[in-house]
């Protein structure tokens, strides 16, 4: 059998990342989700899957530069990390 691929495209329409990070000396584990229809979502993994008070409104949480929200911060920081 002889197959010659002339062109191929792959589009990522959704993904999930398991992330563990530290903030102000405390460790958090989350699942960060993204899909092309609904955008980002996050689930904190703890006894009750409760979102910490500091992250209740993740779109409003910004880093010290003030230009990213928590979703983007975690996504961008993990892009450079081999997952």
* Region label for 53, one of left (φ > 0), alpha (ψ between -120 and 50) or beta (otherwise): alpha
- Among 4-8, 12-16, 62-66, name the one with the lowest average pLDDT: 62-66
What per-residue confidence (pLDDT) applies to 47?
Answer: 85
46 and 55 in contact (C-beta within 8 Å)? Answer: no
pLDDT band at 50 (very low <50, low <70, confident <90, very high): confident
Which of the pair, 39 or 68, is modelled with greater confidence?
A: 39
């Amino acid at each position: 059998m002889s197959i010659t691929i002339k062109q191929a495209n792959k589009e990522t329409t959704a993904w999930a990342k398991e992330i563990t990070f530290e903030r102000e000396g405390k460790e958090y584990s989350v699942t960060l989700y993204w899909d092309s229809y609904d955008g980002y979502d996050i689930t904190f993994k703890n006894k009750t899957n409760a979102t910490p008070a500091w992250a209740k409104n993740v779109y409003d949480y910004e880093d010290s530069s003030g230009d990213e929200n928590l979703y983007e911060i975690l996504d961008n920081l993990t892009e450079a990390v081999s997952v």
